[in-house]
């Protein structure tokens, strides 16, 4: 994209231990060089983290998923990228390593702006952790590109937990592709808690999402106003799908 002209390019492909998928303490852990195609084919991901699996299938085309990596997507931090949105929705984390040692950075602190992260210049992203979804948690990943495989003009990642009465116990709403970084919309989440799911509740939450968007991206692909409108529409769609997949939780579960 000609955003950088490096004097030296280092191939990480032969470094041992930077690829693979495992489960650790309830989190799915991905070596930074794990390809998106590997994630897409993983039965562990499909069953334990369906939100991530659904997002993966929307990334570009098969050729891109065969070359692109989990860590590459996180470190690149494109505002319209799917993986950062999933990381925020699930309280994911990144492990960085340098000569000074290692540190773990929560997703909420990792993405600081368009193509900008909390990684220091001497740090290498080595692992990405995405917590598995709890049994019964509803989820939805929605986006709208101009053409299949294009970057999304807007998208949402949604998770929903229902209480034994079928009301919303908890919810996560992440909007991406709209501002310079993916964002969690806490005001919309608060509107849902304790409410019985339905069109009116979804509409109010969508309105809160639109109100929360202060500086939408405005470019040749979509105006800022259109992106804000899409965020609201996709929030409603995501809530419908997410609640549809949710299972009311028994007391004490």
Q: Which of 65-69, 146-150, 176-180 has the lowest mean pLDDT?
A: 146-150
Q: Higher confidence at residue 186 or residue 250?
A: 186
**Would you state the structure tokens that stand for residue 180, as one six-digit string?**
């310079």
Q: What is the dihedral of CA 23, 29, 35, 38, to 10 degrees?
A: 10
pLDDT for position 252: 63
Average pLDDT of 174-200?
98
pLDDT for position 2: 79
pLDDT for position 58: 97
Residue-averaged pLDDT of the chain? 96
Cα separation, 167 vs 101, whole angstroms: 45
pLDDT for position 253: 59
* Distance from chain centroid for Cα 243: 18
* CATH 3.30.390.50 location in the chain: 138-245
Tell whether the model's pLDDT for residue 30 goes beyond 70: yes
Overall residue count recorded for the chain in this entry = 253
Tokens 């925020």, residue located: 88
Confidence of residue 136 (pLDDT cuts 50, 70, 90): very high
Average pLDDT of 131-138?
97
Nearest to 72 by CA among 31, 21, 27, 17: 31
Cα separation, 253 vs 233, whole angstroms: 32
Q: Which CATH class, in words, describes the domain spanning 138-245? A: alpha beta
Q: What are phi and psi of 150, to 5 degrees?
A: -75, 165
Confidence of residue 1 (pLDDT cuts 50, 70, 90): confident
In this prediction the pTM is 0.96
Cα separation, 204 vs 66, whole angstroms: 40
* CATH 3.30.465.10 location in the chain: 21-131
182 contacts 84 by C-beta, under 8 angstroms: yes
CB proximity list for 171: less than 8 A, separation 6 or greater: 158, 159, 160, 161, 189, 192, 193, 239, 242
pLDDT 10s digits, 222-246: 999 999 999 999 999 999 999 999 9
Q: What stretches of the chain adopt beta strand conformation (E)?
A: 21-24, 27-31, 93-98, 101-106, 111-113, 116-117, 124-131, 138-145, 152-162, 168-176, 183-184
Average pLDDT of 148-175?
97
Q: Which CATH class, in words, describes the domain spanning 21-131? A: alpha beta
């Amino acid at each position: 994209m000609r955003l950088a002209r490096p004097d030296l390019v280092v191939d990480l492909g032969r470094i041992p231990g930077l690829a693979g998928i495992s489960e650790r303490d309830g989190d799915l852990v991905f070596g930074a060089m794990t390809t998106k195609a590997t994630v897409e084919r993983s039965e562990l991901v499909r069953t334990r983290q369906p939100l991530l699996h659904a997002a993966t299938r929307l990334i570009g085309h098969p050729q891109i998923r065969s070359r692109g990596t989990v860590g590459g997507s996180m470190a690149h931090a494109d505002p319209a990228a799917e993986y950062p949105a999933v990381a925020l929705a699930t309280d994911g984390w990144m492990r960085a390593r340098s000569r000074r040692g290692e540190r773990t950075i929560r997703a909420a602190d990792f993405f600081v702006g368009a193509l900008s992260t909390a990684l220091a210049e001497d740090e290498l992203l080595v692992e990405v952790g995405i917590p598995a979804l709890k049994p019964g948690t509803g989820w939805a990943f929605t986006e709208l590109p101009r053409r299949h495989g294009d970057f999304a003009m807007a998208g949402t990642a949604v998770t929903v937990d229902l209480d034994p009465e079928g009301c919303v116990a908890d919810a996560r709403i992440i909007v991406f592709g709209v501002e310079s970084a993916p964002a969690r919309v806490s005001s919309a989440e608060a509107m849902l808690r304790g409410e019985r799911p339905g069109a009116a509740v979804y509409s109010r939450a969508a309105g809160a999402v639109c109100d929360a968007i202060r500086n939408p991206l405005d470019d040749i692909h979509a105006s800022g106003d259109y992106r804000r409108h899409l965020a609201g529409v996709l929030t409603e769609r995501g809530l419908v799908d997410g609640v549809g997949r949710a299972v009311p939780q028994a007391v004490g579960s």
